[in-house]
Amino acid sequence: MINIHYLDSFTFESGYTFKNIPIAYSTWGKLNDTADNVIVVCHSLTSNTLVDEWWSDILGPNKGLDTNKYFVICFNVLGSPYGSFSPITKINGDTNTPLNSKFPVPSIRDNVKAHKLVLDQLGINKVFCAIGGSLGGMQTLEWANQFSEYIAKIIPIGVGAWHSPWCIAWSDIQRQMIMNDPNWSNGFYSNDNPPNDGLGLARQTALISYRSQSSFQDRFKRNKTDDIYDVSSYLMHHHDIFNDRFDANCYLALLDSMDTHDLSHGTNNCAAVLKNFTQDALVIGIKSDILYPPEEQEFLANHIPRAELKIMDFSHGHDTFLIETDEINQYLLSWL
Protein backbone atom coordinates (compact mmCIF):
# COMPACT_ATOMS: atom_id res chain seq x y z
CA MET A 1 0.00 0.00 0.00
CA ILE A 2 1.27 3.47 -0.90
CA ASN A 3 0.53 6.35 1.48
CA ILE A 4 0.86 10.06 0.70
CA HIS A 5 1.97 12.60 3.31
CA TYR A 6 1.88 16.31 2.47
CA LEU A 7 4.58 18.67 3.73
CA ASP A 8 3.16 22.14 4.34
CA SER A 9 6.29 23.70 2.88
CA PHE A 10 9.68 22.51 1.67
CA THR A 11 12.72 24.43 0.44
CA PHE A 12 15.18 22.77 -1.91
CA GLU A 13 18.92 23.30 -1.46
CA SER A 14 18.73 25.32 -4.67
CA GLY A 15 16.47 27.83 -2.89
CA TYR A 16 13.09 26.99 -4.44
CA THR A 17 10.23 26.71 -1.94
CA PHE A 18 6.98 24.86 -2.62
CA LYS A 19 3.83 24.44 -0.57
CA ASN A 20 1.81 21.32 0.14
CA ILE A 21 4.15 18.86 -1.56
CA PRO A 22 3.41 15.11 -1.53
CA ILE A 23 5.81 12.46 -0.23
CA ALA A 24 4.82 8.85 -0.97
CA TYR A 25 5.77 6.01 1.34
CA SER A 26 4.92 2.41 2.23
CA THR A 27 5.28 0.63 5.57
CA TRP A 28 5.43 -2.89 7.02
CA GLY A 29 5.47 -4.13 10.60
CA LYS A 30 4.52 -2.16 13.71
CA LEU A 31 6.08 0.79 15.48
CA ASN A 32 7.08 -0.13 19.04
CA ASP A 33 6.15 1.85 22.15
CA THR A 34 9.36 3.89 22.06
CA ALA A 35 9.12 4.50 18.30
CA ASP A 36 12.76 3.50 17.70
CA ASN A 37 12.51 0.16 15.85
CA VAL A 38 12.44 1.85 12.45
CA ILE A 39 14.33 0.69 9.37
CA VAL A 40 14.34 3.10 6.44
CA VAL A 41 14.76 1.35 3.08
CA CYS A 42 15.98 3.72 0.37
CA HIS A 43 15.06 2.64 -3.15
CA SER A 44 17.20 2.75 -6.30
CA LEU A 45 16.84 4.96 -9.38
CA THR A 46 13.60 3.78 -11.01
CA SER A 47 12.12 1.71 -8.18
CA ASN A 48 9.04 2.54 -6.13
CA THR A 49 8.17 2.25 -2.44
CA LEU A 50 6.91 -1.34 -2.70
CA VAL A 51 9.88 -3.14 -1.16
CA ASP A 52 7.80 -6.32 -0.92
CA GLU A 53 7.88 -6.47 -4.73
CA TRP A 54 11.59 -5.88 -5.45
CA TRP A 55 13.15 -7.19 -2.20
CA SER A 56 10.59 -9.84 -1.29
CA ASP A 57 13.31 -12.31 -0.20
CA ILE A 58 14.57 -9.81 2.37
CA LEU A 59 11.38 -8.24 3.75
CA GLY A 60 9.03 -10.18 6.02
CA PRO A 61 8.77 -12.21 9.23
CA ASN A 62 12.10 -13.77 10.26
CA LYS A 63 13.90 -12.32 7.22
CA GLY A 64 16.67 -9.73 7.21
CA LEU A 65 14.12 -6.91 7.33
CA ASP A 66 12.12 -8.73 9.99
CA THR A 67 8.61 -7.28 10.15
CA ASN A 68 8.09 -9.06 13.48
CA LYS A 69 10.82 -6.85 14.98
CA TYR A 70 11.00 -3.73 12.87
CA PHE A 71 8.79 -1.02 11.47
CA VAL A 72 10.04 -0.82 7.87
CA ILE A 73 9.36 2.30 5.82
CA CYS A 74 10.32 3.20 2.26
CA PHE A 75 9.95 6.73 0.87
CA ASN A 76 9.62 7.61 -2.79
CA VAL A 77 12.30 10.12 -3.77
CA LEU A 78 11.62 13.64 -5.01
CA GLY A 79 11.44 13.66 -8.79
CA SER A 80 10.09 10.12 -9.14
CA PRO A 81 6.74 9.51 -10.89
CA TYR A 82 5.62 7.10 -8.15
CA GLY A 83 3.82 9.51 -5.85
CA SER A 84 6.25 12.07 -4.46
CA PHE A 85 6.67 15.66 -5.65
CA SER A 86 8.01 15.49 -9.21
CA PRO A 87 7.94 17.13 -12.66
CA ILE A 88 4.52 15.59 -13.31
CA THR A 89 2.92 16.79 -10.05
CA LYS A 90 0.30 19.45 -10.72
CA ILE A 91 1.02 22.64 -8.80
CA ASN A 92 -1.87 24.43 -7.16
CA GLY A 93 -2.26 27.88 -8.67
CA ASP A 94 -3.76 29.68 -11.60
CA THR A 95 -2.76 27.06 -14.14
CA ASN A 96 -2.73 23.87 -12.03
CA THR A 97 -0.14 22.40 -14.40
CA PRO A 98 2.98 20.32 -13.79
CA LEU A 99 6.45 21.87 -13.71
CA ASN A 100 7.83 19.53 -16.38
CA SER A 101 11.45 20.50 -17.13
CA LYS A 102 11.19 23.51 -14.77
CA PHE A 103 11.29 21.12 -11.81
CA PRO A 104 14.33 22.02 -9.64
CA VAL A 105 17.10 19.48 -9.19
CA PRO A 106 16.47 17.60 -5.92
CA SER A 107 19.75 16.89 -4.16
CA ILE A 108 20.30 13.73 -2.17
CA ARG A 109 20.23 15.90 0.95
CA ASP A 110 16.88 17.36 -0.13
CA ASN A 111 15.44 13.85 -0.18
CA VAL A 112 16.77 12.86 3.22
CA LYS A 113 15.61 16.13 4.81
CA ALA A 114 12.13 15.79 3.31
CA HIS A 115 11.85 12.20 4.51
CA LYS A 116 13.06 13.20 7.98
CA LEU A 117 10.25 15.78 8.17
CA VAL A 118 7.72 13.03 7.44
CA LEU A 119 9.24 10.78 10.12
CA ASP A 120 9.02 13.65 12.61
CA GLN A 121 5.37 14.16 11.82
CA LEU A 122 4.73 10.42 12.15
CA GLY A 123 6.14 10.60 15.69
CA ILE A 124 9.24 8.53 15.02
CA ASN A 125 11.95 9.29 17.58
CA LYS A 126 14.90 7.42 16.13
CA VAL A 127 15.88 5.29 13.13
CA PHE A 128 17.48 1.96 13.96
CA CYS A 129 18.93 1.47 10.49
CA ALA A 130 18.92 2.91 6.96
CA ILE A 131 19.69 0.65 4.01
CA GLY A 132 19.79 1.08 0.27
CA GLY A 133 21.67 0.38 -2.95
CA SER A 134 22.83 2.77 -5.68
CA LEU A 135 20.67 5.93 -5.38
CA GLY A 136 19.38 4.33 -2.17
CA GLY A 137 22.95 3.97 -0.95
CA MET A 138 23.51 7.69 -1.51
CA GLN A 139 20.52 8.45 0.69
CA THR A 140 21.73 5.98 3.30
CA LEU A 141 25.07 7.77 3.54
CA GLU A 142 23.36 11.15 3.80
CA TRP A 143 21.14 9.87 6.61
CA ALA A 144 24.32 9.20 8.57
CA ASN A 145 25.94 12.45 7.49
CA GLN A 146 23.01 14.71 8.36
CA PHE A 147 21.51 13.04 11.44
CA SER A 148 24.26 11.45 13.51
CA GLU A 149 22.26 11.20 16.75
CA TYR A 150 19.05 10.12 15.05
CA ILE A 151 20.23 7.00 13.23
CA ALA A 152 22.05 4.04 14.77
CA LYS A 153 23.13 1.87 11.82
CA ILE A 154 23.59 2.18 8.07
CA ILE A 155 23.96 -0.31 5.23
CA PRO A 156 25.08 1.41 2.00
CA ILE A 157 25.24 -0.96 -0.98
CA GLY A 158 26.97 -0.47 -4.34
CA VAL A 159 27.76 3.21 -3.86
CA GLY A 160 30.65 5.59 -3.26
CA ALA A 161 31.19 8.74 -1.22
CA TRP A 162 30.60 10.86 -4.34
CA HIS A 163 29.26 10.39 -7.87
CA SER A 164 32.35 9.86 -9.98
CA PRO A 165 33.07 11.46 -13.38
CA TRP A 166 32.59 7.98 -14.84
CA CYS A 167 29.05 7.78 -13.49
CA ILE A 168 28.28 11.36 -14.45
CA ALA A 169 29.34 10.48 -18.00
CA TRP A 170 26.84 7.60 -18.08
CA SER A 171 24.16 10.02 -16.86
CA ASP A 172 25.07 12.63 -19.43
CA ILE A 173 24.85 10.34 -22.44
CA GLN A 174 21.38 9.31 -21.30
CA ARG A 175 20.37 12.97 -21.01
CA GLN A 176 21.57 13.59 -24.55
CA MET A 177 19.47 10.69 -25.83
CA ILE A 178 16.32 12.13 -24.29
CA MET A 179 16.96 15.75 -25.21
CA ASN A 180 17.79 14.87 -28.82
CA ASP A 181 14.49 13.06 -29.29
CA PRO A 182 12.39 15.06 -31.82
CA ASN A 183 9.48 15.02 -29.36
CA TRP A 184 11.48 16.52 -26.48
CA SER A 185 10.10 20.07 -26.95
CA ASN A 186 12.40 21.48 -24.25
CA GLY A 187 10.69 19.25 -21.72
CA PHE A 188 7.16 20.49 -22.43
CA TYR A 189 6.10 17.51 -24.54
CA SER A 190 2.51 16.33 -24.68
CA ASN A 191 1.31 13.19 -22.96
CA ASP A 192 0.18 11.95 -26.36
CA ASN A 193 3.59 12.43 -27.97
CA PRO A 194 6.38 12.02 -25.37
CA PRO A 195 10.07 11.46 -26.23
CA ASN A 196 9.74 7.69 -26.04
CA ASP A 197 12.63 6.86 -28.35
CA GLY A 198 15.05 8.94 -26.30
CA LEU A 199 13.79 7.64 -22.95
CA GLY A 200 13.88 4.05 -24.21
CA LEU A 201 17.45 4.43 -25.48
CA ALA A 202 18.48 5.96 -22.16
CA ARG A 203 17.03 2.96 -20.35
CA GLN A 204 18.82 0.54 -22.67
CA THR A 205 22.11 2.33 -22.02
CA ALA A 206 21.53 2.20 -18.27
CA LEU A 207 20.79 -1.53 -18.39
CA ILE A 208 24.15 -2.19 -20.03
CA SER A 209 25.91 -0.24 -17.28
CA TYR A 210 24.05 -2.19 -14.59
CA ARG A 211 25.50 -5.51 -15.75
CA SER A 212 28.93 -6.86 -16.71
CA GLN A 213 30.42 -8.34 -19.86
CA SER A 214 30.46 -11.82 -18.35
CA SER A 215 26.82 -11.60 -17.24
CA PHE A 216 25.72 -10.78 -20.81
CA GLN A 217 27.93 -13.55 -22.15
CA ASP A 218 26.47 -16.10 -19.73
CA ARG A 219 22.88 -15.04 -20.30
CA PHE A 220 22.72 -14.35 -24.03
CA LYS A 221 25.84 -15.74 -25.69
CA ARG A 222 25.44 -15.12 -29.45
CA ASN A 223 22.01 -16.71 -29.62
CA LYS A 224 19.39 -15.49 -32.06
CA THR A 225 15.61 -15.82 -32.24
CA ASP A 226 13.94 -15.07 -35.58
CA ASP A 227 17.28 -13.73 -36.83
CA ILE A 228 17.51 -11.17 -33.99
CA TYR A 229 20.19 -11.48 -31.32
CA ASP A 230 18.68 -12.36 -27.96
CA VAL A 231 20.53 -9.49 -26.28
CA SER A 232 18.96 -7.07 -28.81
CA SER A 233 15.48 -8.43 -28.08
CA TYR A 234 16.13 -8.03 -24.36
CA LEU A 235 17.11 -4.39 -24.76
CA MET A 236 14.17 -3.58 -27.02
CA HIS A 237 11.75 -5.21 -24.60
CA HIS A 238 12.99 -2.97 -21.80
CA HIS A 239 12.89 0.05 -24.11
CA ASP A 240 9.17 -0.50 -24.54
CA ILE A 241 8.13 -1.43 -21.00
CA PHE A 242 10.08 1.46 -19.47
CA ASN A 243 8.12 3.93 -21.57
CA ASP A 244 4.93 2.42 -20.15
CA ARG A 245 5.94 3.13 -16.56
CA PHE A 246 8.21 6.18 -16.48
CA ASP A 247 8.36 9.83 -17.53
CA ALA A 248 11.29 11.50 -19.31
CA ASN A 249 11.37 14.63 -17.12
CA CYS A 250 11.26 12.47 -14.00
CA TYR A 251 14.13 10.35 -15.28
CA LEU A 252 16.23 13.45 -15.97
CA ALA A 253 15.44 14.85 -12.52
CA LEU A 254 16.66 11.63 -10.90
CA LEU A 255 19.84 11.51 -13.00
CA ASP A 256 20.53 15.11 -11.96
CA SER A 257 19.84 14.18 -8.35
CA MET A 258 22.38 11.34 -8.42
CA ASP A 259 25.00 13.62 -9.94
CA THR A 260 24.72 15.95 -6.92
CA HIS A 261 25.91 13.16 -4.61
CA ASP A 262 29.06 14.29 -2.81
CA LEU A 263 29.33 13.85 0.95
CA SER A 264 31.89 16.65 1.07
CA HIS A 265 29.83 18.93 -1.23
CA GLY A 266 32.83 19.68 -3.42
CA THR A 267 35.51 20.15 -0.75
CA ASN A 268 37.32 16.99 -1.88
CA ASN A 269 37.60 15.81 1.70
CA CYS A 270 35.09 13.00 1.96
CA ALA A 271 37.51 11.11 4.18
CA ALA A 272 37.14 13.77 6.88
CA VAL A 273 33.34 13.64 6.58
CA LEU A 274 33.28 9.87 6.90
CA LYS A 275 35.52 9.91 9.97
CA ASN A 276 32.75 11.83 11.76
CA PHE A 277 30.20 9.06 11.19
CA THR A 278 29.12 7.64 14.55
CA GLN A 279 26.97 4.79 13.27
CA ASP A 280 27.74 1.12 12.93
CA ALA A 281 28.06 0.55 9.19
CA LEU A 282 27.86 -2.54 7.01
CA VAL A 283 29.28 -1.48 3.65
CA ILE A 284 28.42 -3.87 0.82
CA GLY A 285 30.20 -3.83 -2.54
CA ILE A 286 29.96 -5.90 -5.70
CA LYS A 287 33.09 -7.29 -7.31
CA SER A 288 31.76 -7.02 -10.89
CA ASP A 289 30.20 -3.54 -10.53
CA ILE A 290 31.50 -1.24 -13.29
CA LEU A 291 29.57 1.81 -12.03
CA TYR A 292 30.62 1.77 -8.37
CA PRO A 293 33.63 -0.59 -8.21
CA PRO A 294 34.69 -2.21 -4.93
CA GLU A 295 37.44 0.31 -4.30
CA GLU A 296 34.71 2.88 -3.67
CA GLN A 297 33.22 0.72 -0.92
CA GLU A 298 36.71 0.03 0.44
CA PHE A 299 37.19 3.80 0.74
CA LEU A 300 33.95 4.06 2.73
CA ALA A 301 34.84 1.17 5.03
CA ASN A 302 38.39 2.42 5.57
CA HIS A 303 37.22 5.83 6.72
CA ILE A 304 33.97 5.15 8.61
CA PRO A 305 35.23 4.37 12.14
CA ARG A 306 32.77 1.56 12.91
CA ALA A 307 32.45 -0.08 9.51
CA GLU A 308 32.51 -3.65 8.27
CA LEU A 309 32.99 -4.47 4.57
CA LYS A 310 31.39 -7.24 2.53
CA ILE A 311 32.13 -7.76 -1.18
CA MET A 312 29.62 -9.83 -3.15
CA ASP A 313 31.49 -12.05 -5.60
CA PHE A 314 28.97 -12.49 -8.44
CA SER A 315 29.21 -11.70 -12.14
CA HIS A 316 25.89 -9.83 -12.51
CA GLY A 317 27.38 -6.36 -12.14
CA HIS A 318 25.75 -3.45 -10.30
CA ASP A 319 22.33 -5.14 -10.25
CA THR A 320 23.68 -7.93 -8.03
CA PHE A 321 22.03 -6.34 -4.98
CA LEU A 322 18.63 -6.84 -6.67
CA ILE A 323 19.44 -10.34 -7.92
CA GLU A 324 21.39 -12.17 -5.20
CA THR A 325 18.92 -11.27 -2.49
CA ASP A 326 19.53 -14.46 -0.49
CA GLU A 327 23.09 -13.34 0.20
CA ILE A 328 22.04 -9.87 1.31
CA ASN A 329 19.36 -11.45 3.49
CA GLN A 330 22.04 -13.54 5.24
CA TYR A 331 24.20 -10.45 5.77
CA LEU A 332 21.30 -8.67 7.44
CA LEU A 333 20.31 -11.63 9.61
CA SER A 334 23.82 -11.92 11.03
CA TRP A 335 24.71 -8.21 11.22
CA LEU A 336 21.51 -6.55 12.43
Per the CB < 8 A criterion, the answer to whether 121 and 154 are in contact is no
* Residue 5 three-state SS: strand
**Position 81: which residue type?**
P
Q: 0.85 exceeded by the pTM? A: yes
Whole-number pLDDT of residue 254: 98
Gap between the Cα atoms of 51 and 66, Å rounded: 13
Look up 238 and say whether it is catalytic. no
Residue 140 gets the label, from left (phi > 0), alpha (psi -120 to 50) or beta, of alpha
- Compute φ and ψ for 24, nearest 5 degrees: -90, 145
Gap between the Cα atoms of 31 and 67, Å rounded: 10
Whole-number pLDDT of residue 91: 81
Gap between the Cα atoms of 35 and 126, Å rounded: 7
- Please identify which of the residues 66, 247, 262, 289 carries the catalytic annotation: 289
Whole-number pLDDT of residue 92: 61
Look up 33 and say whether it is catalytic. no
Cβ neighbours of residue 31 closer than 8 Å, sequence gap 6 or more: 37, 38, 71, 123, 124
- Please identify which of the residues 84, 134, 212, 288 carries the catalytic annotation: 134
Gap between the Cα atoms of 296 and 47, Å rounded: 23
Reference 83, options 46, 49, 121, 130; nearest CA is 49
Look up 237 and say whether it is catalytic. no
Per the CB < 8 A criterion, the answer to whether 179 and 202 are in contact is no
Whole-number pLDDT of residue 267: 73
Neighbours of 56 (CB within 10 A): 12
Partners of 38 in beta bridges: 71, 127
Whole-number pLDDT of residue 115: 98
HSE (side-chain half, CA atoms, 13 Å) at 250: 25
Q: Is 149 exposed, middle or buried (0-12, 13-18, 19+ CB in 10 A)?
A: exposed
Mean pLDDT by 10 residues, the chain (336 residues): 96 95 98 95 98 97 98 98 96 78 97 98 96 98 96 98 97 98 97 96 97 94 94 95 97 98 87 96 98 98 98 97 97 96
Gap between the Cα atoms of 180 and 186, Å rounded: 10
Neighbours of 276 (CB within 10 A): 12
- Please identify which of the residues 5, 43, 261, 318 carries the catalytic annotation: 318
Whole-number pLDDT of residue 265: 84
